[in-house]
Amino acid sequence: MIAVPLLRSLPHHQVRVTDPFWSRWREVVAQVSLPGQYEQLEQTGRLEHFRRAAQRLVGGFTGFYFNESDVYKWLEAAAYVLDEVPSSGLRTQFDEAIGLVAAAQEEDGYLNTFFQLNHPKLKWRNLGSMHEMYCAGHLFEAAAAAHDCLRDDRLLSVACKLADHIAARFGPGKKLGYCGHEEIELGLLRLAEAANRPDYADLARWMIDVRGSRPSPFDLELDDAEAMTISSFAAHMLRKDGKYSGEYAQDHLPVREQSDVVGHAVRAMYLYAAAAEVADAELTAALHRAWNNLVGRRMYITGGIGPSHANEGFSVDYDLPNFSAYAETCAACGLIFWANGMLHRTGNSDFVDTMERGLYNGAISGISLDGSTYFYTNPLESRGNHKRTPWFSCACCPPNIARLIGSIGRYLASVDDDGFYLNIPAGLEAEFEVKGVKVKLTVESNYPWSGNVKVRVEPTRPVIFALRVRIPDWADDVQTDLPDQESDSEFESGYAVFRKTWRSGDVLTLDFEMDAKWVEANPKVRENLGRVALTRGPIVYCAESVDLKFPPQLFCVDPELPILAEPKSALHGMIDLAVEGLAQTEDFPDALYADAGSIALRPVTARFIPYFAWANRGASDMQVWFRQA
Residue type for position 167: A
Which CB atom, from 133 or from 265, has the smaller least distance to a copy of itself? 265
CA distances in angstroms from 26 to 288, 397, 402, listed in the order given: 32, 16, 8
Question: Mask of contacts with a copy of itself, 608-627, x by CB under 8 A?
Answer: -------------------x
- 227 and 125 in contact (C-beta within 8 Å)? yes
Sequence-separated (6 or more) residues with CB below 8 Å from residue 123: 110, 112, 115, 132
* Binding region for a copy of itself (CB under 8 A) out of 119-127, 188-196, 381-389, 462-470: 381-389
Going edge to edge, which strands form the sheet with 437-445? 15-17, 428-434, 437-445, 452-459, 506-512, 478-481
- 560 and 517 in contact (C-beta within 8 Å)? no
Distance of alpha carbon 205 from alpha carbon 278, whole angstroms: 6
Residue of 43, 259, 479, 598 interacting with a copy of itself (CB under 8 A) = 598
- 339 and 331 in contact (C-beta within 8 Å)? no
Q: How far is the CB of 628 from a copy of itself (least distance, A)?
A: 8
Q: How far is the CB of 360 from a copy of itself (least distance, A)?
A: 15
* Binding region for a copy of itself (CB under 8 A) out of 27-35, 314-322, 425-433, 497-505: 314-322
Q: How far is the CB of 332 from a copy of itself (least distance, A)?
A: 15
Which CB atom, from 294 or from 439, has the smaller least distance to a copy of itself? 294
**Is 333 tagged catalytic?**
no
Q: Give the footprint of a copy of itself on residues 384-413 (CB under 8 A).
A: 385
Which CB atom, from 13 or from 627, has the smaller least distance to a copy of itself? 627
Q: How far is the CB of 556 from a copy of itself (least distance, A)?
A: 7
Q: How far is the CB of 32 from a copy of itself (least distance, A)?
A: 27
Quick one: which H or E segment has residue 277?
A: helix 265-278
- 124 and 180 in contact (C-beta within 8 Å)? no
Q: How far is the CB of 134 from a copy of itself (least distance, A)?
A: 25
Quick one: which H or E segment has residue 44?
A: none
Which residue out of 396, 527, 542, 544 is catalytically annotated?
Answer: 396
* Binding region for a copy of itself (CB under 8 A) out of 51-59, 128-136, 291-299, 424-432: 291-299
Contact status: 585 vs a copy of itself (CB under 8 A):
yes
- 369 and 571 in contact (C-beta within 8 Å)? yes
Residue of 163, 201, 227, 301 interacting with a copy of itself (CB under 8 A) = 301
Q: How far is the CB of 524 from a copy of itself (least distance, A)?
A: 7
Q: How far is the CB of 474 from a copy of itself (least distance, A)?
A: 9
Which CB atom, from 7 or from 532, has the smaller least distance to a copy of itself? 532
Q: Give the footprint of a copy of itself on residues 518-577 (CB under 8 A).
A: 518-526, 529-530, 532-533, 551, 553-554, 556, 559
Q: How far is the CB of 319 from a copy of itself (least distance, A)?
A: 8
* Binding region for a copy of itself (CB under 8 A) out of 223-231, 260-268, 438-446, 514-522: 514-522
Contact status: 517 vs a copy of itself (CB under 8 A):
yes
**Pairing label, strands 539-544, 601-610:** antiparallel
What are the start-end ranges of the H helices in 67-106? 68-84, 88-104
Q: How many Cβ atoms from other residues are within 10 Å of residue 4's Cβ?
A: 8
Contact status: 299 vs a copy of itself (CB under 8 A):
yes
Going edge to edge, which strands form the sheet with 495-502? 413-416, 419-422, 463-470, 495-502, 490-492
* Binding region for a copy of itself (CB under 8 A) out of 20-28, 64-72, 515-523, 567-575: 515-523
**Is 330 tagged catalytic?**
no
What does residue 132 show for φ and ψ, rounded to 5 degrees?
Answer: -65, -45
CA 374 to chain centre: 14
Sequence-separated (6 or more) residues with CB below 8 Å from residue 597: none
| CA-closest candidate to residue 563, choices 580, 540, 548, 576 | 580
Which residue out of 312, 328, 356, 444 is catalytically annotated?
Answer: 312
Q: How far is the CB of 236 from a copy of itself (least distance, A)?
A: 16
* Binding region for a copy of itself (CB under 8 A) out of 2-10, 113-121, 198-206, 597-605: 597-605
Residue of 99, 198, 296, 462 interacting with a copy of itself (CB under 8 A) = 296
| Binding-site size, a copy of itself (CB under 8 A) | 47
Residue of 8, 51, 289, 383 interacting with a copy of itself (CB under 8 A) = 383
- 587 and 600 in contact (C-beta within 8 Å)? yes
Handedness of CA 144, 146, 152, 157 (dihedral sign): negative
Contact status: 603 vs a copy of itself (CB under 8 A):
no
Quick one: which H or E segment has residue 17?
A: strand 15-17
Distance of alpha carbon 329 from alpha carbon 302, whole angstroms: 11
- 357 and 538 in contact (C-beta within 8 Å)? yes
- 46 and 68 in contact (C-beta within 8 Å)? yes
* Binding region for a copy of itself (CB under 8 A) out of 35-43, 437-445, 585-593, 605-613: 585-593
Distance of alpha carbon 34 from alpha carbon 40, whole angstroms: 10
User: Which spans of this chain sit near a copy of itself (rule: CB under 8 A)?
Assistant: 295-297, 299, 301, 316, 319, 321, 323-324, 381, 383, 385, 517-526, 529-530, 532-533, 551, 553-554, 556, 559, 584-586, 588, 590-599, 627
Catalytic residues: 312, 396
